[in-house]
Amino acid sequence: MAYHRPSGLPEEYPSSSAADFKSDTVTTPTPSMLQSMLTATHGDDVYKEDRTTNDFQARVAEMCGKPAGLFVVSGTMGNQLCLRAHLHQPPYSILCDYRSHVYTHEAAGLAMLSQAMVTPVHPKNKVYLTADDVNEYLILHNDIHTAPTRVISLENTLDGTIMPIEEIAKISALARRHNIRMHCDGARLWNASAETGISLSEYGKLFDSMSLCMSKGVGAPVGTVIVGETDFIETTNWFRKQTGGGIRQAGLLAAAADTALTEIFPKVLKETHETTKKLAADLAEMGLTFQLPVETNFIFLDLEKANIDPKVLVEESKKVGITVVGARIAIHHQISLEAIEKLKVAVKNTIDICKLSTTQVEKPEGSLFYSGFDKVVH
């Protein structure tokens, strides 16, 4: 199978992200997203008076099978507002995968904003949490020494892997039995849905709240939508205001996000997954292996196993004119075919250089996140 450009996009439009494999957040607005901003309404969204924003929130909420939605500036804000709104009287704790963004990459927001303890759980299968994993670590008792579990927060996709819906359903049933809320960090739930064909509302049934990012694979410049019951979303709106997240003429941003959704989800997004899998197959032929199954738009190279120094990969990538920051390779709809070919050249050159080196590559000291070996922490 040959690589091909995602269909349905304008033939020619320049994007600074065409050779940038760092993340899917680097995607830039397409001409039609910019065009839609010109026709957005200009009401004040803090007064809930902006039609474009109201319509867009309602659109995403409906897709997710929920009565209400709220447009917020970022995925971090979406997660933190939802988790804060689920929690009432500390002490309490949130159970999540140990790699979860809410735990590892949101600047201690759970401690600062929700006063929550976190129970980070390592999935036994090394890919996704199961109901058995969760059950083992739930804190259910009234022992005054503990912080009972009040929320289970699942991330889907997580590092590009899709959580099987059957497992989510089991965890959700377990949570409901114990009156525990379920939150989904669905920054990339679009990818999971596009890949599996499972609708967002099917996922929505299993969660009390979901946070869906518009500015990652879907490609909008700004924004996340959180969805849930009407009262719940009212509470998140309160906390959004408190954290300075009220946006006045939000319609300009909501319009771009609305167009992005129409343009990219689900077909174009799925095409980026096909490209990712094809690239993974080509890299595997060069002898590389991966830390995780390649299921959507991320490849996590096992650089350690291949004795590849991440710094060499970063340098060789620079030399051929592309951006790679370490083990994680992100594919998005603006990556050019030329950039993919350059990536393969950079990887081949890196392998050749590292083969000549007889010394074992040393793991950097300190946190493995962003080290180039990122997330080899099983």
Ligand X SMILES: Cc1ncc(COP(=O)(O)O)c(C=O)c1O
Residue from the set 66, 101, 150, 273 that interacts with ligand X by CB under 6 A = 101
Per-residue binding string, ligand X, 271-290, x by CB under 6 A, is --------------------
Instruction: Give Cα separations from 289 to 265, 293, 304, 358 (angstroms).
Output: 29, 10, 10, 20
Q: Count of alpha carbons within 13 Å of 322, Cβ hemisphere only?
A: 28
Q: How far is the CB of 359 from ligand X (least distance, A)?
A: 34
What are the helix (H) ranges across 211-336? Answer: 230-242, 251-264, 267-285, 310-320
Q: Binding to ligand X by residue 76, rule CB under 6 A?
A: yes
Amino acid at 257: A
C-beta of 70 vs 354, nearer to ligand X = 70
Q: Among 70-78, 281-289, 339-347, 351-359, which window interacts with ligand X (CB under 6 A)? A: 70-78
Which residue's C-beta sits nearest to ligand X?
75
Q: Is the dihedral of CA 189, 195, 198, 200 positive or negative?
A: positive
User: Whose CA is closest to 53, among 254, 258, 212?
Assistant: 254
**Binding residue for ligand X (CB under 6 A) from 9, 127, 187, 343?**
187
The DSSP call for residue 91 is S
| Residue 224: CB minimum distance to ligand X, A | 6
* Tokens representing residue 341 in the block: 């070919």
Instruction: Name the residue nearer to ligand X (CB basis): 43 or 75.
Output: 75
Interface with ligand X, residue 213, by CB under 6 A: yes
CA atoms within 13 A on the CB side of 338: 6
Phi, psi for residue 265 in degrees, rounded to 5: -100, 135
250-269 residues near ligand X, rule: CB under 6 A: none
- The yes or no reply on residue 74 touching ligand X (CB under 6 A) is yes
List the x/- string, 146-175, binding to ligand X by CB under 6 A: ---------x--------------------
Q: What is the DSSP letter of 164?
A: P
Contact residues for ligand X, defined by CB under 6 A: 25, 74-76, 79, 101, 155, 185, 187, 213, 215
